[in-house]
Structure formats: structure tokens, C-alpha cells
Structure 1
Amino acid sequence: MEDSTTANSTFLCSILDIEIVTLAIIHPVLLGSLPYLGPAYIKGLQDIRQKYPSLNVTQTILWEKSYRSCQDLQADGVNKVTANVDKKYQRSESDPCSTTVLMWAGCSEVAEVNPIARELDLFMLTSTASNVPDLRKKRLAPTWITITVLSMSTYVNIYVNVVSMFNWTSFAIIVDNGGNPYFPQLAQSLYPQIAPGRQVHRENINTKEDVDFKKIFLHLNSLTRVFFYLGDPNGFRKLLLKATELNSTNGEHVYVIGTPFRLSSEPGYLHWKKNDEDDEVVRFAYRSVLIIEPDGSVYGQTDGSDSFSLEMRNLSKTKYNYTYGPYELISPHPASTYAGMMMLAQVMENLRSTNACEMWSSGRETAKLFLNRSFETDVGRFYIGPLGERIPTVQVNQLDWNTSQIRPLFVQDPADLRLHAVNPPQWPGTWPPLNEPKCGFRGDAPLCTPKGNTDLYIGSGGGAVALIILLTCVVFMFTRRTANNALLNNDSWRIDSTNLRAVGDTNQVSVPKTLSEIIGNEKNVTMKYVNDQLVWVTAATKLSIPSTIQAFRPSPSALLLINHLRRLDHPNVNRFLGLTVSHSGWHVSFVSDFVQRGALTKLLPQVTLDSDLQIALIFDILKGVRAIVQSAIRYHGNLSSNCCYVDKHFTVKIGEAGFNQLRKLIRQESTDTTDDRNRDIRAVGIILLYVITVDDRFASLEKFESAPDKPSPDSFSPEFSKVVPILKLSAEGSPATATSDVNSLTRKVTVALGLSGGRIDDTHLLERIIRRLENYTTELDHQVAVRTTALIDEQRKCDLLLREMLPAKHIELLRKGTVPEPETFDLATILFTEIGGFKEIVKNSKPAFVMLFLNDVYTAFDSVLSRFDVYKVETIKDSYMVVSGIPMRNGHAHGKEICELALSLLDVYSAFGVLFDGTSLQSGIHTGSCAAGVVGLKAPRYCLFGDTVNTASRMLMYSDVSRIHISESTCTLLKEYFPELETEKRGTIEIKGKGSITTYWLAAEPLSMTARKLN
């Protein structure tokens, strides 16, 4: 490599130095330790050097001891990374052809190191779980990418998908709070996204204690048949045993358990097999279990090959003297770690070849290159989502009844996060399983209610039956004659023309569109209001003799038809309201319901419909026509697309049914129905072709017949390939159709569209469109839940931040717009601390490092405060101010709380003092009266006032290295109430503004301090 001093923005680095800094765990029982991950690092370095010779990748592994827990590692991990990374960061700044990367797999210590990476702009790549909330926010972790298999959002999504797929509206979630913290965190993330619109029964348990699974099961069994278990598989096994005792593993119940990953390939491991007498019982119960877990690629298994696993096993044994067990699987961390190194190499080689120095030297810019991107590696495809976390492939699995191996039923692909079926289910009961039994939880559903002992009422004798039939016939004939007379004398069909008011003449809301826009100009129709109801008034005929609405009397046959029309009530037929006569007395008009979207011929050219909506319209038309045919009207008489209207719910309503017949009866003309019925059959075919093609030549029978060239309905989607020929024959009136009635045509159309049985009344008719609407609603609910959760989360964080700035009781007053009144406290104890030697740190360090140092110190200090009854007032530069007895009075305990806190802070800072020689913590304490209150409204602060504050500050000013300087009033308080806190007289000293006063040192640590540390 050329001298870095000659390198500039246009110089192409022939070799790019990449230093990987790794924080290591040595102890072998942890999945992120070197015996597991070391082989992945070795193989990754070897393969990068072979495939990318222009990248000089080296690795620095940091450790001091065999960490036995993540907490041990976290305790000094930050210090080790800080001490080692700063030198490499400085080297990278001076050498444009080098960069530093943080990379490891472990626990939540990544959250502690993240501020270092953010401040120094270092790229950080980990295979650590992403369930730390701050890490999933790019604003707080802009340089961090994770390749963990434990993507919280992915697992939340698959649970939501499962619930939506099976249409479960109620279920139970059993959460184990006594084991792996991953499961309570998963439940916390899952609940707000899965609960909206559903009944979720949450049950919290602790498997470290005795759990009464029988009691839990009996309680939940009366509420649902679906059980989600988030927790220890051993607890789940106990739940299944209790369910088996209660005969609840026969397929009527479904039990769902999520396992992040398995550590053994032994059949039954982690689930049913424990090598005890209950193995076979639980294995049988697993027939009613669905298992959510990642696919085999997380272990490095691709294309049925396990070569990566074999290489990891060999390197673990030869390099780290660790031997895997016979069934032991390698954890997902080695495959993720190896893939991460190869992904890093791909990105860095691309940046090197394009000379994008400003990107590889910036962790923020490097991290952006991983987002929304798929990487191909030797251990599979890795997709990194928009939040910087890997989206793994997750499956819904089931225990194979024959082999006792795990078999996948559905796979959630990272690309679309949808479930795809891969194998048919093996299920002992109804599939898909229901969340409520068909007969209800108590067997009292109407479907299963006994119909009664009808046999007792049948067979009372032939004579009685004959008598009943005779009486029924007599009653029927009498009732029919009476009903006909009532119909002829019923004038409810009359609508007084004086009750019709034009649109705009009243205070009614005007119609959004004109008549010409929704039904066309060719119809003699007006919009009117009748008793505040918007209606259509269709001109019917002109009378030979003028009349009034009261004097006008149709013939008996016309009156019967009028009443039949008014009684025709069907969702797909526009409702006929009655007749009206104009003011002049010459014209009779028909009044019917207003339909918002208007005629098909006006609506369809303006919108784009997919096949699902077209099928919905087709069956609306068929159901409407069939309702007319099966009614007393028998036929429409003038059917066309112009009288098929669409309401606001996009439902088709057949309008003007029977109008042609009624018009002829009013005129006392002949009504020959044969031609009209044949015309209806042809019209149905033409209308449906119009819905499919939106060709104007299919708008009516007249246009179809008068077209110079017969239209060819060749513009249709493949779904209609079988139904179009049937409709063409119907439209042409061909005898080959054998569709002598609408029912026959309906059956043929239904079968041609792939709906079973040729029926249109079953729910499966609109299943696709309903499912689409449900999916849209579910997605909308999901987005609302996500945003609501985000808002609640932000409000919670805002509240937490406010509580750090202000006392809780003052926050509520400020929210109400009330300025809190200041208070006077007779006695309180105040502590000031500062870092001796801080000025030297500022003078000799970069600003970013100074801020990082202060952040680490005060974060460590803040973590101690929760153990004491104190309130942090503020931090200014290296000064830290804490008070006890304010804002909550605590008697005389404030002196003890502050003094013990001061001792704890000294102990905490001792770790920093080792790293930064020449620095120390010094403290000052004083007890006295004080005033406190909120100052400011835009950025309110809780401030203390009075001489006690000044005196405490002076105690700090005259303190000494690693000493706690206390005033005489504090010493007196301790001697009287807390003698276990020993003090040492310093003597009389001159203090600026106070004169000569006697002060003391806090000398010893009492037993209560030791107890606090242990807790």
C-alpha cells in the first residue's frame, strides 16, 4: 500500500485494510462463545482472503477471562471496547485506506457498546438478538446491522399471519415470565399487533415456580380452543399432559408453540421426548400442536448439504478443544457470523473498487448499504430489512405422525412475509381448527340444539290428517280472496305529487353528481325528495283523460302488479315505492329508491375493476334477475345495463323491474309475456358480457343487434375464458345454449367460474372479495395498531424523560397548564460531585471522546440512583447534583441516603479511575433548609434555591481526591440518627463566603451499604 500521506479522494486503494474488533466470550456453555464462533471467524477470514485478495482483513479478539454469563461480559465489555477501539479509530482517520468494524455475537452488551459506535461512526455487525428497542431505531443505532435469527418483528408477523389465515377471533396467550426473557419481550411486541378486533386472553405464568396448568386450562377452555404458548418447552409439555387428562388433544383444540431454534437433531428433543413414561402420551398430543420455528438454513444447512456444520465441528475440536455431542446442532450464530463476514466483504470490495472512501470510513454510510438488500452466501440467502435486522425464513411446522420428525406446513418467505403452504396437514380433527366449537363452548349453539320430540306429534291418525288438509284448503281459498280484495282496496301506493320536492328546493344535502353523470340523458328521470328521502321519479305514460292522484284508479290487474312490485324486497332489486300523477293531471310516473352510483353504463367506463369485483357484480346481477323471475312479476320486461344500478356499497340493484308491464296495463294494452321473457334471457348474457368487457356495444340488446359488426368479447381476463362462450350463445339467442331460464344460465355461469355446485347463495360466492376486504381491514388495523403502539411508546418515553427532568406530581400540573407553587423544605441533604482531572481530559482528548466519557460515567452513576431515595437535580459538565428529602419528604433519612449514595458513586468511579489515570471523584455534602420549584415553561427545570445549595457547592470546592467532604450540620444529623456512618473531623478551614467553619470527612462504609450492593 502506498504511503497514506499521498492518498487523497481520487486515489484508488489497491488494498483496503479492515480491522475487525471482536468482543469474545470464552466459556463454552454460551452460544456466542469462541468454541462455537471461533470456527466461523477462521473460515470467514480464510474465504475472504481467497475470494477478495484486495481486502486485507485482520481480527482483534478482546477478552480477559472466561465470562460465565452475559452480565459478566456486559460489565466490562464497554471498557475494553473503548480502550481498544479509540486507537484504531485514530489510525483509520490518518489512513484513508483502512477502516475499523465492530463484530461479535453475544447478549445485550451490544446495546451498551452502541453509543461508542454511534459517536465514533464505526460500523457494527452482530448476530445478537434485536429485541433491544433502541437498536431497532436507526436514529439511535445508525451504524448497527444485525444478522440474528431472532428477529422480533419477523416472529410477530408470523403469529399475526397464522391468526389471520385461520380466521381466529379469540385465543389465549400463555406467557412464561420465569425463563428466557425473549418470550415476555415477544409477547409485549405481539400483543398490540394481534389484539385489535380479537378477544385475546393473556395468562402470565412462572415455570420456576409451581404452576397449576389444570386450573389455567379449565379457565381458558371456556373461552377459546386456541392456545399460544410463549415460554419454556418443558412447561408446554406439562400443559399438554393436563390437556390429555381432560381429553382435549383430539384435534378440537390447537396448541401453538414458538421455538427460536433447536440445539439437537434428536427426534422429539425440545418437545415431547424426555425419556420418561410420558413420552408416548405427549407425542400423541403433539398431533394437535403447531410449531413456529426457523428453517434449517439458520444452522448453515443449504440444498440438503451439511458441509458447513461438519467444518464447524472439526474446527471447534482442533482449534478450541470442544467436541459436539452426537445430536448437537451448531447454533445459528456460526452461520450468521460467517455470512456476516462474507456480506461485509462484498460491500467493502464494492466500495474499494469504486473508491468510495467516504462511505467505508463512515459506519452510518456503510450500514445504509445493507438495508433492504438480499445477500447470497455459501450458507444461504440473507435478507436485511429496512430496520437493519435480518428477516429469516420462518415455518409453521407439525410433528409427522409416522416418522416423529418435524415437517413444515407453511413457510413465511422473507421477500413478502406471507405464509405459503408446502405440505398438507396431518390433523386429528376438523381442518382448519376453529377457535370455538361448532356447538359452542357449552353445546348450546342453535346449530346443535335438539329440535324436539317431533315424532310425538306425527302419526296421530289418517283421519286427522285428512281433516287438517281439508280445513287448510278452505282457509287458504278464503284468505287468498280476502287478501286480493285488501290489495285492490289498498291505496298506500299513491304518492301525492305535492309531497315531491326538487333537489335544492329544501335544506337537504344536494346530490354530488347530476343525473346525466349517473344514469345518462336518454332516460326521462328526475331526482326528487319525498318526506326527506331522495327518490327517482320515472315518467311512465300519458293519460287520455286528465286526473288527480286521488281520482286515478288503475285496473285490478294493474293494482295487483303494483302491490307485487312493492312487496318485492331483495338486496339486488331496486325498491318500487309507488305511482304519482303530475300537477296537470296528464302524466303518471313511477317512484323508486335512489341508487347512489348510478347505472353500469355510466360507472364502469370510469373505473378499473379486477376480476374479483367483476365476479361480484356478475353474481349480484344473476341474483337480482333470479329474484324477479321467482317473484309474482315473473319477468323484467326491459332488462339492460342501463337499468342495472350500483349503490354506495358497490352492490348491483336491478331497477325498473315490471315497469314495462305496468305501463301497458295502465294504458290497457295487451301484455304478451313470451317475447319479454326470451328477451330477458338474451339481455342477461349481454349485460354480463358488458361487465367483463365494458364494450359499449354490449350496453343493451338494441345496440348489440344494431351493431354493424358483431362485437367479439376478446378483452377479458383468463378467469372468464370458460364463461364468455356461454354468455355469447345466450346473447345471440342460440338454441344451443339450452338456457331456457335464468336458473339454468346461472348454474352454467357459476360452474364455468369454478364455484362448486352451481349455487350462488353460499358464502363461497364472494369468498375472494371478502377475503381481500378482510385482508385490507386486517392490514389497516395492523398499521393503526403499529402506529398506536409507536405513539404509546413515544409517550411512555416522553414521560420517562419528563420524570428525569421533573417530579411526577409537577408533570401533571404542567400538563393542565398550572404552574406548580414553589415549596420550602425545612431539612434536606444535597450532594455535589465532580471529576478531578477533567480539565486535562478535555485538553488532551477529542470532543467525541469527552462526550463519550461523560456519558459512560453519568450512565453508571444513574444506574445506582434507583437503589436510594434521592432525586437527581442536574448535571453540568463534570458536576453532578443530587438531593434527598426533596421533592418527597423522608424525615431524617435524607442524610443517610445521600451519604450512602456518595460512597456508592466513589465505588462506581473506581473502575473509570483505573482507565484514566490522574482522575478522581470528589464530593461535598451539606444539610439544611431549601426552597424548590419549577422554573420556565418551554424547557421547565426543577431547581433548588437557598444557602444550603451554596454551602453544599462549597463543600465540593474544598473537598479532596476520592474523599467525601461533609458539613457540620450533616455530621450532627449522622451522629444522632445514623451512628453507623462514621465521620472523621477535618478541622476548621476558611471557606470563601462562609468564613471559618468546621467540616468533616465521611470515613466508613456501613453494613447497610454492603446489603444494597448485594441486592
Structure 2
Amino acid sequence: MATNIGTLTTRTRRIRTINIATPGTLSVSSASGLPFIAPAIESAIQELQREYAGVFNWTWELIYDKSTRDYYDYLYSADGLVAKWYYKQRSPADLTVFLYAGGPEVENINRLAAEWNTLMITSTATMPTQRNKRLSPSWLTTGCCLTTNFVKPYVYLMKANNWTSLYLVVDAGTIMTPTVAKDVSVAIKNMKAAQHIMFTIPVGSRNEDTYEVALKDFRKTSRVLFFFGHSDSLKGFLRQAGNMGMLSSEYIYITLEPFRSNPMFGNLTSSVEEDQRLQAAYGSLIVVTIAEYINQPGLEATSRFAQWKSISSAAFNYTYNTTEQLSPHVTSTYYTMLLLAEVLNETLDAIPDVDLLDGSRLARLFFNRTVKIDSLSVYVDEAGERRTDMEIRQFNKKTGDFETIMIQSGATETVTQIRPLNWHGTGQFPSNEPMCGYAGNNPRCTHEDASTAIMSSAIAVGIGLILVTVVVGHSWRRCITAEVDGRTWWDLSDWHVPSSMSFTPRH
């Protein structure tokens, strides 16, 4: 950890009691359940107690109902549990912080935290409300994978390539990705001269017929498709695109992969795909995802996996598996504890009499700053949301894997080119719209066709005038000759009709 306790010797500070309150559920159906998150907080508390001995006294309280094991039941009772704890069970402390992973219940708990002006930090969930500081003055969110982070690469790609007509396909049977699709839709609406169509794959409708309907509509309206859904659905979609001849250089498909090797989102880029058809299809695919190093825990976190597993087994009778150990929700919660301690220590060292009961002021202390935690730079923006680096990946046929071609900084949003783009042999993405439009009826091409017709007509008229001149000249010469021969100009006795033609006299 990057804490410098040496700075504490510059002045004497009284020990402050920091109480961490963690509402949650015992359900393991959500990656943010207490069996996953609580062990990371407990181990962090133990570490901070040693690290800040004589500076902070850390206490911790879990807020849950033993009888509520279903996550969805918890959503509707969370604010009641928190209110009961706050008024009747809360332990005395210099500072109380609501620190938990969070899910859909965060909106309700936030209303309470805002009313009490109590600092609240969610290590996983966020909502649009979070950025409204009038409604959420004391709410911070430090999750690595906020939906607003995923939107930024899409905005960059649209602006950089002048894509103004987009087609969005949303798989309703997945979590999180439909929310990102909604945020991308809002971003497109806020862009000048941009338009989009959104096609939803209903739950239970991942089949060729549904894909074909979407692809036919896409072909008529755009050349850029954003896919939001499970990787299995994407693979079926790309196979159908291949059947319809829609994997050429003029079509581009961009998909979102929040995490690698996560069953909730599938397995797209974490293993080599043996299906040759899919490998060919991947040549038309771009992947937007969180930077790989963000999802890889540092040494401090990885060294505590065994401890987290032991705590979960002893306290919740649940044993982690490998995938859950590596869950970014767990490590993000652990890092949030370290971030909180770092900022509090720095603040109190500079302003010993700071009012710890003013949650909104404490929240602002985190804004627009970067803190180094476990060799990872954690940046929190002007509204109290963590910004993480994002990657744009492309399939490499030679290696059979997706490779990073661009990285977008979470702090500055600047994009760094890692390697050149190779799009079907070219160094640029396809244009948003074919030159003559999707149906060949673009006014530009219609105008060009009209010009061609006018030119052709002019040529035909010119040829016609030449022929008329020749005929008239010939007839005039015959007329002169007839006068010399004593024949009339209308005498056609020496004109011959080709034998292949015949005349039928009219009666």
C-alpha cells in the first residue's frame, strides 16, 4: 500500500474511530453478495488496523437479514434494514461510512445517505443518479466496470470515423450489457446529425430467424452494428451474417465484452476459437472491453485470496471457486477500503479539524484525483465516479486471438494506438454509408445517373444531327443531279429495299 505513515509525525492527531457499515444479502446468486464481498472488507480492516495503529480505529458492521437469502427480496427491504440499523443499532464513531458493492438497491440507500449526509461508497454499482450531486451529494462509486466507462470508446469510434447512422442489437437475456446499450443510445441522441435503430433480441429468441430479421434491417439502414449481449448469441449472429454474405469489408460489427471468461457474459476472447467459420467472421469484429490490467489483481490482492476463501467458508459456509476469486467486484471492494484510508489519512494530516460528519464534503475530497493502490492507478472524476482505461481489440488471424489496437485513458479519454488497424487489408474502418446509399438511391448517385443520361442524350442528339445533315446533303445532291438528268427529285426507282425486309400495304 502507498500510505506514508511518516507524515503523521508532523503533528499529533487524536485517534479517530472509523466505522464501516456494509449492507448486503447472504445470497450467492449475485457477485455482490456478502459471501464474496465481506471477506475482502474484513481482511482490509485487519490490515488497516495494523497499518494505522495509533491513527485510526477501524470498526465494521454487517447489515443483513438472516431470513432473507433471495437477492431480489433483499432489493425491496434494503433501505428498511439500513434505517433500522442507523437509528437503533449503530455504534458510536467519529465517522460512519456505508461501504458495500451495491446493486439495484443503491438508489434507495442513497436517499437515506443523502438525508443523513453520510459518506456512501459503492465498489460495484452506480446509477445515473450518482452523477447528480443534488440528489447524491455524499455518494462515490469506485467500481472498475461502470457502464459509463464502456460508453466512452463507442463515442470515440463514432466521432473518429464520422459514423452517424448506427444499428444497435441488444440481447435482452444478458445482464449489464442492455444497460450499456441504453447509455450508448443516449450518447448517440446527444450527438449532432447522428441517428440509430435499436433491435432487441427477446429472451429465448436466440435463433437464426431472429438474427436474419435484424441483419436484413441492418443492411437497409447502416453499415456499423453495435452488439450488446452474450458471446454465444454473438457467435450465432455472426454465423448468420456469414450465411447472408454480410461479412465483407463494408460491414463492421462491434461487441462489448465486460469481463473475460465470465459465465454471465460468455467466453469470446479468452480462448482460441477452433471454429473456422467463426475465425473468418471475427475478421469483421471489433471488441470493446475494460483494459486487461484493470481486471488483474495486484500482489496485495492476490496474496489475500486464500484468506478471503477461508473467511467466506468460516463465516458464510461458502467456498470460493477460481472464477469468483478473480472477480473484479471482490478486488475492487478491497481496493476501495485502501483508497478510503489513504484519502482520510492525507486529509486529516492536512486539516486535523475537518468535519467528518459532513459526508458531502468528504465525498468531494475524492474528486478529480488519482491514488496509487496495489500498483494500480485509481482515478475518480469530478462527480465521484472511478474512470478506468478501456481497450479496443481486433482479431489477429495469425495468432488466432484478439489483440489490443487502442487504449483509451480513463482519466483523460485520450486514445493511444498500440498497433495499426488492418481492416480487410486496409488501414481504416469502412465508411458509415455506401456511396450510393443502402438501396442505391442516394441523391448523389441519382444526380450522377441523371448527368450520365443527359450526356448520353446529348451524344445521341449530336449523332442524330450528323446523320440528318448527311441525308439532307445526299438528297440535295440527288435533287441537283435529277435536274441535270431530267428526272424528278421524288423518283425512287433506283432505291432498293433490302430483301430481309418486307412492306405490307395498308388497305
Name the counterpart of 1:959: none
- Contact 1:147-1:340 within 8 A present in 2 as well: yes
CA drift at 1:77: 1.9
2:184 to 160, 167, 190: 190
The secondary structure found in structure 2 opposite 1:388 is coil
Indicate how the Cα distance of structure 1 residues 313 and 283 shifts in structure 2: closer, same or farther if over 3 A, else same.
farther
The secondary structure found in structure 1 opposite 2:204 is coil
CA distance in 1, matches of 2:406, 2:145: 19
- Counterpart of 2:50, as a letter, is Q
Indicate how the Cα distance of structure 1 residues 210 and 416 shifts in structure 2: closer, same or farther if over 3 A, else same.
closer
- Counterpart of 1:32, as a letter, is S
1:247 to 241, 245, 265: 245
The secondary structure found in structure 2 opposite 1:61 is strand
Name the counterpart of 2:311: 319
Q: How does 1:812-961 map to 2 (within 5 A)?
A: none
- Contact 2:422-2:428 within 8 A present in 1 as well: no
Indicate how the Cα distance of structure 1 residues 71 and 298 shifts in structure 2: closer, same or farther if over 3 A, else same.
farther
**Does 2:167 match 1:172?**
yes
Indicate how the Cα distance of structure 1 residues 327 and 144 shifts in structure 2: closer, same or farther if over 3 A, else same.
closer
Give CA-to-partner distance per residue, 1:578-625, whole Å, 9 cap, x none.
Answer: xxxxxxxxxxxxxxxxxxxxxxxxxxxxxxxxxxxxxxxxxxxxxxxx
Indicate how the Cα distance of structure 1 residues 347 and 133 shifts in structure 2: closer, same or farther if over 3 A, else same.
same
Q: How many residues align?
A: 430
CA drift at 1:190: 2.5
**Does 2:342 match 1:346?**
yes
The secondary structure found in structure 2 opposite 1:106 is coil
Give CA-to-partner distance per residue, 1:434-467, whole Å, 9 cap, x none.
Answer: 2234565456886999x99x9xx9xxxxxxxxxx
CA drift at 1:66: 7.5
- Counterpart of 1:284, as a letter, is A
CA distance in 1, matches of 2:423, 2:130: 41
Name the counterpart of 2:500: none
Give CA-to-partner distance per residue, 1:318-369, whole Å, 9 cap, x none.
Answer: 2223555566662221222122111111122133334544432221111110
Name the counterpart of 1:270: 267
Name the counterpart of 2:47: 47
Name the counterpart of 2:217: 219
The secondary structure found in structure 2 opposite 1:222 is helix
- Counterpart of 1:57, as a letter, is W
Give CA-to-partner distance per residue, 1:286-326, whole Å, 9 cap, x none.
Answer: 22111111112432445xxxx35633532243222355556
**Does 2:207 match 1:206?**
no
CA drift at 1:226: 0.9
- Contact 2:16-2:56 within 8 A present in 1 as well: yes
Indicate how the Cα distance of structure 1 residues 410 and 274 shifts in structure 2: closer, same or farther if over 3 A, else same.
closer
- Contact 1:409-1:421 within 8 A present in 2 as well: yes
Give CA-to-partner distance per residue, 1:234-263, whole Å, 9 cap, x none.
Answer: 322221111011222233311111122234
- Contact 1:23-1:104 within 8 A present in 2 as well: yes
CA drift at 1:103: 0.6
- Contact 1:179-1:206 within 8 A present in 2 as well: no
CA drift at 1:281: 2.2
CA distance in 1, matches of 2:354, 2:392: 44
Indicate how the Cα distance of structure 1 residues 218 and 355 shifts in structure 2: closer, same or farther if over 3 A, else same.
closer
Larger radius of gyration: 1
Indicate how the Cα distance of structure 1 residues 65 and 157 shifts in structure 2: closer, same or farther if over 3 A, else same.
same
Name the counterpart of 1:27: 27
Indicate how the Cα distance of structure 1 residues 90 and 68 shifts in structure 2: closer, same or farther if over 3 A, else same.
closer
- Counterpart of 2:111, as a letter, is P
Q: How does 1:385-784 map to 2 (within 5 A)?
A: 385-434=381-430, 435-437=432-434, 440-441=437-438
The secondary structure found in structure 2 opposite 1:360 is coil
Name the counterpart of 2:256: 258
CA distance in 1, matches of 2:399, 2:359: 49
CA drift at 1:148: 1.6
1:292 to 282, 288, 292: 288
- Counterpart of 1:134, as a letter, is T
Q: How does 1:778-797 map to 2 (within 5 A)?
A: none
Indicate how the Cα distance of structure 1 residues 206 and 356 shifts in structure 2: closer, same or farther if over 3 A, else same.
farther
Unaligned runs of 5+ in 1: 1-10, 93-97, 458-1015
CA distance in 2, matches of 1:312, 1:69: 28
2:132 to 121, 129, 137: 137
Name the counterpart of 1:15: 15
CA drift at 1:27: 2.9
- Counterpart of 1:270, as a letter, is N
CA drift at 1:56: 1.2
Name the counterpart of 2:156: 161
CA distance in 2, matches of 1:69, 1:275: 37
Give CA-to-partner distance per residue, 1:818-847, whole Å, 9 cap, x none.
Answer: xxxxxxxxxxxxxxxxxxxxxxxxxxxxxx
Name the counterpart of 2:463: none
- Contact 1:294-1:393 within 8 A present in 2 as well: yes
- Counterpart of 2:142, as a letter, is I
- Counterpart of 2:216, as a letter, is L
Name the counterpart of 1:62: 63
Q: How does 1:73-92 map to 2 (within 5 A)?
A: 73-87=74-88, 91-92=92-93
CA distance in 2, matches of 1:88, 1:35: 22
The secondary structure found in structure 1 opposite 2:399 is coil
1:335 to 321, 331, 341: 331
CA drift at 1:155: 2.4
- Contact 1:129-1:146 within 8 A present in 2 as well: yes
The secondary structure found in structure 2 opposite 1:250 is coil
Give CA-to-partner distance per residue, 1:873-922, whole Å, 9 cap, x none.
Answer: xxxxxxxxxxxxxxxxxxxxxxxxxxxxxxxxxxxxxxxxxxxxxxxxxx
CA distance in 1, matches of 2:325, 2:248: 32
- Counterpart of 2:181, as a letter, is A
Indicate how the Cα distance of structure 1 residues 348 and 210 shifts in structure 2: closer, same or farther if over 3 A, else same.
closer
CA distance in 1, matches of 2:92, 2:123: 26
CA distance in 2, matches of 1:284, 1:273: 17
1:359 to 355, 360, 370: 355
CA distance in 1, matches of 2:309, 2:38: 11
Give CA-to-partner distance per residue, 1:95-125, whole Å, 9 cap, x none.
Answer: xxx2111110031212111122122221111
Name the counterpart of 1:368: 364
Indicate how the Cα distance of structure 1 residues 153 and 326 shifts in structure 2: closer, same or farther if over 3 A, else same.
closer
- The TM-score, its normalising length taken from structure 1, stands at 0.39
Name the counterpart of 1:838: none
The secondary structure found in structure 1 opposite 2:76 is helix
CA distance in 2, matches of 1:255, 1:299: 24
- Contact 1:175-1:205 within 8 A present in 2 as well: yes
Overall identity of the aligned pairs, in %: 26
- Contact 2:260-2:269 within 8 A present in 1 as well: no
- Contact 1:287-1:399 within 8 A present in 2 as well: yes
Indicate how the Cα distance of structure 1 residues 282 and 359 shifts in structure 2: closer, same or farther if over 3 A, else same.
farther
CA distance in 2, matches of 1:257, 1:86: 47
Indicate how the Cα distance of structure 1 residues 111 and 263 shifts in structure 2: closer, same or farther if over 3 A, else same.
farther
- Contact 1:175-1:204 within 8 A present in 2 as well: yes
- The TM-score, its normalising length taken from structure 2, stands at 0.76
CA distance in 2, matches of 1:387, 1:87: 32
The secondary structure found in structure 2 opposite 1:381 is strand
Unaligned runs of 5+ in 2: 1-10, 460-507
Indicate how the Cα distance of structure 1 residues 50 and 427 shifts in structure 2: closer, same or farther if over 3 A, else same.
farther
- Contact 2:150-2:290 within 8 A present in 1 as well: no
Indicate how the Cα distance of structure 1 residues 273 and 240 shifts in structure 2: closer, same or farther if over 3 A, else same.
farther
The CA RMSD over aligned residues, in Å, is 3.3
1:102 to 91, 98, 119: 98
- Counterpart of 1:78, as a letter, is D
Indicate how the Cα distance of structure 1 residues 210 and 288 shifts in structure 2: closer, same or farther if over 3 A, else same.
closer
- Contact 1:129-1:149 within 8 A present in 2 as well: no
Name the counterpart of 1:231: 229
- Contact 1:348-1:360 within 8 A present in 2 as well: no
Indicate how the Cα distance of structure 1 residues 421 and 415 shifts in structure 2: closer, same or farther if over 3 A, else same.
same
- Contact 2:288-2:391 within 8 A present in 1 as well: yes
